[in-house]
Structure 1
């Protein structure tokens, strides 16, 4: 999330006032990782002339190997661990730490959810919701899972930092061992529901690598990258882990949902890889123009991430409304038109950012005080609500459509109520 919190300053002023000791490469990684995720979503969308939305990786399975370089969400979580370690150590009060990060995450997220909720209700009251519109109502909230996981990282930062201070690499090893144990119970012993624990074990282990980076204890990046890559290759070769490091439609086993030990190895490989690029990346981020661009992008990164699928689906919807015949996915014509479609999606995303970026503007630092138990309960409710909304989408609002959140059915309005109730608890001072 954006780390510059001084209200009223422009990106140019923030860039000019950057402390000399700031690790600009970390900020560059934050922007670059989200940009790759957004670009990947735009490129993977395989929309046909009848409004069906497929996945390019399913159309061309050979391209699934590219996810070993382009599934970079672990890099974002690694960067989050680094930032959380520094931030919490500068002001080690649980309630204040949680409150500040929940505000930054939920202000743009709540705005996004509210706008789409109103649109979805209006469409369905008017009798719409079929074709590409119905698909959009279901798809636009799916990336919110990332917000839920990040909220979990915020909630667990203080206790995991304490474990890190005492055990160092041992804390990471414990989380990785938990991920391995979950996969054994899941695949070898068919224990039900245990796989959901890896949403915590896998992503918190990657987050823990950020703590190690903050203390300069990652060690040799070439060994880290090599070990992670070798582990991922071995696990995929032996099975039952699939080749793709992103979720695929209809697959029985996904490396992403829930995460697997193979995805954790993939994350370790990526962390080692970006650390190998630390030297040239640091020099690049030190350039004045590059740094201004990084600062500006960090200030709207969450807004762009939240709205990028809306932009993409809007572009395809406009093309279909104009009776433009879309080429078959992965055909030569499809590849030829891909740059134009991506450019259009980027342009619409920029317009949406201009409209909604105010929700991401820095606000005054939260006042101190508050209850740690209330903050912990609040962030838990919020993350469960965000995850629930990512699963239900906005289709079927009038029919009470539900999705199963772990073991509990939840509707979109119920998920939104959880988000807001949790946010309220976090804000309470007494």
Structure 2
């Protein structure tokens, strides 16, 4: 492995750390120049016992959620623009359902949310022999920016970080990101550092729910993203580390529980989310007979947020994820792959919502990667289980399963 190839991979990794998170991030990292990918993933979560009681945001009967399902169809494409620039686009179609029973009348209901997410465009330029990367991103508002009561009920369950489902199909309105990254080599290390400024859209219900805000009509301020990365060879192995920080401007929390596009709603409070600090570590091991063997870990700490200048107790949390993934070649064009993942989230102590719940859980993924000419086909299955933790309510166990297919092509 040449020093330049290590340098280029680190630069790409650090540049990605400055971007807005995308439902297609995993697929996006697999793609090279002039490439396209699509997939389909069906996921299900079943809550143990009598389910999990969730209070209504609309003043109605509380619901005891027992199961949820989601079908996601991600699409991504990458193409060169001249010799030093590339353009990529990502979007996802999704439909999700949440089954619940009324806390008082035990009547079973099913809430659904469906649609297309926003289309995310990104242009990346590599200048001065890969030493400088410029990134410009734009969010095309093709996703949903209004929610009725049924869609909100579904979103509150499907967006819970504890279950690690693909992102629900909601938009955030027009937004954009502009970033710059510098990369160099020093002492055998490939180093990179970058900063990006994100102009966020006018709709962010998932951000409000995960942060524990009392209303989902959350009009976000802008964000500064900063990241540092390092990568080097250790004998036949490779180690990578990255650190990023997200610093938020002032947000507006408006009256109403069901978001809409009205500009006449009353501002309830000025909210400032606390910074989020993320550390990523990865060790790629050169193991006999394995094409890939990687140990990885990610720790994310969310600082407390403030409302009208007053810090809110219980609004900070830590999210630790890690695992092992391996790929075993069976033939020259066929690999078996597996991944073992674990997560431990403290959650937030603000309330007993699923979106702020703590969790201890794990997952196992098994799949096959088959290359047919310029096309790679990857079917997989995944199972997961864990225990949810709430501030006041009793905890609950859960199990989950998923099956999917990803198709990648380079041309």
Q: Structures share a fold, TM > 0.5?
A: no
Identify the structure with the greater strand proportion.
2
TM-score under structure 2 normalisation?
0.32
Of structures 1 and 2, the one scoring higher in RCO (CA 8 A, sep 6+) is 1
Identify the structure with the greater helix proportion.
1
TM-score under structure 1 normalisation?
0.31
